[in-house]
Amino acid sequence: MRSLARWAVSRLRRYRPDHNPLRRRSDRIEAAIAAAALAAVLFAVWPAALAARTVYDGGVMAERVGPGTPQLVEATLVEAPAAEEGSAAPAAGRGLPAASSARWTLPSGEVREGVVPAVLLLRDGPMKARVWVDAEGRPAAPPPHRAETVTRAGLAAAGVVAIVTVLAWACFALTRHWLDRGRYRDWEAAWVAADQRWRRHRI
């Protein structure tokens, strides 16, 4: 913790605006770019909040069961579970079938039959279950839970901040690399000039 605090203080001293005569023009440019990068990361909180809000509102709407969203209907398993008869490969480590053949009735009264993944079935007994279906009556993923919605919103906000941080750091690193090349050229030129002056004095 102390090392991090020392590093932050050293960066602040390096880039703070002052009237130090030893500061070169390139140093001031680097300080300005560092301040701009930091400001970009701080301002990223606003679009990150907007992204999180958009994802959260979309998740809340998806949670509501209604027209156009998955609905839960009663289903009857046509075959016995694979754990009993071994007719299907069991899911990893759970002794349950990866999919089951089932028959379900839509709200319109139409009867459908097909193979339903185990993750989409809510079992109520050995041969009874419920299944989520979409507007066309096909098995579908259930609406998200509130915890999933909150998690996705948080990931969206963190993703926006991470992208802005990476771009800001990349711009700062490229600018500093370009400035360093100029500093090295100036340093070499200064050494050449100093060498010429020293030689004249020796003569």
Q: Name the pTM for this structure.
A: 0.60
Quote the pLDDT of residue 20.
64
**Residue pLDDT, tens place only, 61-103:** 877 755 566 777 778 887 654 444 444 444 444 444 577 787 8
Are residue 105 and residue 50 in the same domain, yes or no? no
Angle, helices 2-15/25-43, rounded to nearest 10 degrees: 120
- Asked if residue 83 belongs to a domain, the reply is yes
More confident residue, 68 or 180: 180
Are residue 106 and residue 152 in the same domain, yes or no? no
Greatest C-alpha distance within the chain:
109
Are residue 93 and residue 46 in the same domain, yes or no? no
Are residue 75 and residue 108 in the same domain, yes or no? yes
- Asked if residue 46 belongs to a domain, the reply is yes
Containing structural domain, residue 179: 26-60+146-197
- Asked if residue 8 belongs to a domain, the reply is no
CA 173 from centroid of its chain's CA atoms: 23
Are residue 107 and residue 158 in the same domain, yes or no? no
| Beta bridge mates, 71 | 133
The tally of domains found in the chain comes to 2
Report which secondary-structure segment, H or E, holds 190: helix 146-202
Q: Characterize the bridge pairing of strands 99-105 and 111-117.
A: antiparallel
Q: Characterize the bridge pairing of strands 121-123 and 111-117.
A: unpaired
* Domain stops at, among 133, 156, 180: 133
- Asked if residue 185 belongs to a domain, the reply is yes
d(CA 80, CA 84): 7
Are residue 128 and residue 84 in the same domain, yes or no? yes
> CB–CB of 186/100 below 8 Å?
no
Mean pLDDT score, 145-159: 90
Give the number of residues written for the chain. Answer: 203
**Residue pLDDT, tens place only, 39-58:** 999 999 999 999 999 999 88
Are residue 78 and residue 38 in the same domain, yes or no? no
- Asked if residue 14 belongs to a domain, the reply is no
* Domain stops at, among 112, 133, 154: 133
> CB–CB of 74/105 below 8 Å?
yes
Are residue 129 and residue 159 in the same domain, yes or no? no
